[in-house]
């Protein structure tokens, strides 16, 4: 049994920063994440993309932000259970919680903070019969490291920001040797700037744009070698390619947390904005996973929520102690 003060479910940016804020109050944290690495969406979906709205950082790569948050949390020696989804929660006789993962690892603490973001990641997949047979053999649903596509032929499908941005990135930086963007409509859902840029690049032959068409088949002995594009007017087109990357977004799914008796509204956990507590005393929800009036799914908002939630957690754990706010500039950071 792993014992700690606060179990944090989700090691995304919000969970990681909460370790730091809890540490300042001398509360120890243990993080559980279903992914094999910390960082949540930042590490899993867009590690090489710059973020421009983290206070004090005019620009920071999402992966760098996670490295920095890990460094900032390090003095407080957080524990990690990675690669295991939190499945069940139960209450003990002495008012603690036991959270058990899919692999049976048990964690006990008086406080649980759910920082589960979008939940367990599940990409939306196109309905292609043999798609599963090519997963990790040329079919990827997330671009983790663009250099993986160096000098490769790539077919991206989708009409949102991800599909547009990655097509531009891989073609403009001359990473992939051929970028084909396939979209079922002639209009895109992404930012107008990105749409215009793709159209301009297609005009110059830097991106091959195929609209009003869908990828309907994959061929290859073992790995992806060809894809079948079905065009609404021209019928089937076969293209040789090394990679097929459908970027249709992630299906938000709270996963097992949805069955924990928490008040849920549209796949998110309802909280009291006083301290981001849920309807179950001792359980808090912070970051993208929660919902309240005027909620913004931004990293900086999650940082604020985690900071207030640990203050409330402190009061629950130490009802007889008064916590006085101390600036880090005055007190420094006293690790464990
Ligand atoms: C392409 C893209 C660009 C973005 N750009 C910006 C930007 O510029 N600025 C900005 O502020 N925000 C941006 N965002 C949003 C930002 O990434 C999110 O607001 C942020 O990641 C939320 O952090 P989080 O820690 O709440 O959740 P997440 O980052 O989603 O992390 C949650 C973690 O919880 C884990 N988890 C969930 N359920 C369980 C379970 N049952 N057991 C174990 N683990 C579980 C997940 O595996 C995940 O690792 C962007 C998002 C995307 C996709």
3-class state of residue 304 by DSSP: helix
3-class state of residue 167 by DSSP: helix
Q: Are 118 and 13 in contact (CB under 8 A)?
A: no
Written as one string, the DSSP assignment of 57-79 is BSSEEHHHHHHHHHHHHGGG--E
Q: Quote the pLDDT of residue 142.
A: 83
Note whether 35 and 10 are same-domain residues.
yes
Could you give the percent of the chain with pLDDT greater than 70?
A: 99
Note whether 164 and 267 are same-domain residues.
no
User: What letter would DSSP give residue 322?
Assistant: P
Note whether 118 and 229 are same-domain residues.
no
Domain boundary among 231, 246, 261: 246
What percent of the chain is helix, strand and coil (3-state, nearest 5)?
30, 30, 45
- As a whole number, mean pLDDT of residues 112-140 equals 92
Q: Which residue has the tokens 């215009």?
A: 196
List, for residues 43-76, the tens digit of each pLDDT value: 988 888 999 999 999 999 999 999 999 999 999 9
Q: How far apart are CA 302 and CA 318, in angstroms?
A: 24
List, for residues 230-274, the tens digit of each pLDDT value: 999 999 999 999 999 999 987 767 888 999 999 999 889 999 999
Q: Quote the pLDDT of residue 250.
A: 74
Q: Produce one character per residue of 138-162: b if its CB has 16 or more CB atoms within 10 Å, e if not.
A: bbbbbbeebeebeebbbbbbbbbbb
Confidence grade of residue 191 (pLDDT, cut at 50, 70, 90): confident
Q: Are 5 and 110 in contact (CB under 8 A)?
A: yes
Q: Closest Cα to atom 44, ligand 1: which residue? A: 33
Note whether 261 and 311 are same-domain residues.
yes
Q: How far apart are CA 268 and CA 156, in angstroms?
A: 30
Q: Closest Cα to atom 21, ligand 1: which residue? A: 41
Note whether 277 and 235 are same-domain residues.
no
Q: Quote the pLDDT of residue 196.
A: 96
- pLDDT score of 326 more than 90: no
- 134 part of a folded domain: yes
Domain boundary among 246, 275, 300: 246
Note whether 12 and 107 are same-domain residues.
yes
- 336 part of a folded domain: no
- 311 part of a folded domain: yes
Residue to substitute in 299, 304, 305, 306 for testing ligand 1 pocket (most ligand atoms within 8 angstroms of CB): 299
List, for residues 265-323, the tens digit of each pLDDT value: 988 999 999 999 999 999 999 999 999 999 999 999 999 999 999 999 999 999 999 88
Residue to substitute in 12, 14, 21, 283 for testing ligand 1 pocket (most ligand atoms within 8 angstroms of CB): 12
Q: Closest Cα to atom 5, ligand 1: which residue? A: 51
Note whether 254 and 114 are same-domain residues.
yes
Residues having CB within 6 Å of any atom of ligand 1: 9-15, 32-35, 40-42, 45-46, 51, 53, 85-86, 115-121, 255-257, 287-289, 297-300, 302
Confidence grade of residue 331 (pLDDT, cut at 50, 70, 90): confident
Q: Are 46 and 23 in contact (CB under 8 A)?
A: no
Q: Closest Cα to atom 22, ligand 1: which residue? A: 288
How many angstroms is it from 240 CA to the middle of ligand 1? Answer: 35
CATH code for the domain in which residue 142 is found: 3.50.50.60
- As a whole number, mean pLDDT of residues 18-23 equals 98
Confidence grade of residue 100 (pLDDT, cut at 50, 70, 90): very high
Residue to substitute in 117, 160, 271, 302 for testing ligand 1 pocket (most ligand atoms within 8 angstroms of CB): 117
Q: Are 47 and 63 in contact (CB under 8 A)?
A: yes
How many angstroms is it from 42 CA to the middle of ligand 1? Answer: 6
Radius of gyration of the chain (CA): 23
Note whether 219 and 282 are same-domain residues.
no
Note whether 190 and 137 are same-domain residues.
yes
Ligand 1 nearest-atom number relative to CA 250:
53
Note whether 86 and 134 are same-domain residues.
no
Q: Quote the pLDDT of residue 144.
A: 77
- 273 part of a folded domain: yes
Q: How far apart are CA 224 and CA 251, in angstroms?
A: 24
Q: Quote the pLDDT of residue 120.
A: 77
Q: Are 212 and 124 in contact (CB under 8 A)?
A: no
- pLDDT score of 119 more than 90: no
- pLDDT score of 4 more than 90: yes
Q: Quote the pLDDT of residue 45.
A: 84
Domain with 76, as residue range(s), is 2-122+250-331
Q: Are 121 and 252 in contact (CB under 8 A)?
A: no
Q: Quote the pLDDT of residue 323.
A: 87
- Mean residue pLDDT of the chain comes to 95
Q: Report the domain count for the chain.
A: 2
Q: Quote the pLDDT of residue 299.
A: 98
Q: How far apart are CA 290 and CA 310, in angstroms?
A: 16
Q: How far apart are CA 219 and CA 239, in angstroms?
A: 10
Domain boundary among 246, 270, 302: 246
- pLDDT score of 203 more than 90: yes
Note whether 178 and 194 are same-domain residues.
yes
Length of the chain: 336
The helix (run of H) or strand (run of E) holding residue 41 is helix 40-44
Ligand 1 nearest-atom number relative to CA 286:
26
How many angstroms is it from 265 CA to the middle of ligand 1? Answer: 18
- Give the contacts of 189 (CB within 8 A, at least 6 positions apart): 159, 160, 161
Note whether 109 and 167 are same-domain residues.
no
Q: Quote the pLDDT of residue 325.
A: 87
How many angstroms is it from 3 CA to the middle of ligand 1? Answer: 26
| DSSP β-bridge partners for residue 238 | 228
Confidence grade of residue 78 (pLDDT, cut at 50, 70, 90): very high
- pLDDT score of 122 more than 80: no
Ligand 1 nearest-atom number relative to CA 16:
25
């Amino acid at each position: 049994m792993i014992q700690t003060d606060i179990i944090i479910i989700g090691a995304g940016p919000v969970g990681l920063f909460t370790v730091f804020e809890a540490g300042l109050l001398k509360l120890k944290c243990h993080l559980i994440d279903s992914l094999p690495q910390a960082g949540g969406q930042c590490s899993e979906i867009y590690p090489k993309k710059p973020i421009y709205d983290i206070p004090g950082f005019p620009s920071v790569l999402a992966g760098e932000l996670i490295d920095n948050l890990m460094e900032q949390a390090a003095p407080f020696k957080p524990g990690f259970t990675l690669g295991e989804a939190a499945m069940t929660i139960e209450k003990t006789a002495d008012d603690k919680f036991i959270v058990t993962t899919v692999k049976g690892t048990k964690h006990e603490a008086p406080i649980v903070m759910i920082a589960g973001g979008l939940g367990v990641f599940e990409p939306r997949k196109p309905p292609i019969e043999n798609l599963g047979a090519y997963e990790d053999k040329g079919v990827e649903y997330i671009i983790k490291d663009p250099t993986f596509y160096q000098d490769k032929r790539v077919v991206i499908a989708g009409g949102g920001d991800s599909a547009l941005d990655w097509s531009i990135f891989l073609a403009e930086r001359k990473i992939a040797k051929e970028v084909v963007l396939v979209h079922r409509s002639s209009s895109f859902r992404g930012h107008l700037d990105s749409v215009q840029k793709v159209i301009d690049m297609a005009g110059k032959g830097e991106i091959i744009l195929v609209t009003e068409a869908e990828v309907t088949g994959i061929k290859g002995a073992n790995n992806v070698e060809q894809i079948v594009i079905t065009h609404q007017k021209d019928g089937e087109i076969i293209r040789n390619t090394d990679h097929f990357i459908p970027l249709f977004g992630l299906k938000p799914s709270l996963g097992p947390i949805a069955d924990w008796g928490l008040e849920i509204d549209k796949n998110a956990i309802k909280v009291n904005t006083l301290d981001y507590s849920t309807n179950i005393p001792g359980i808090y929800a912070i970051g993208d996973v929660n919902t309240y009036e005027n909620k913004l799914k931004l990293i900086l908002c999650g940082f604020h929520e985690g900071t207030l939630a640990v203050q409330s957690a402190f009061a629950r754990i130490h009802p007889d102690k008064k916590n006085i706010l101390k600036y880090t500039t005055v007190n420094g950071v006293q690790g464990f």
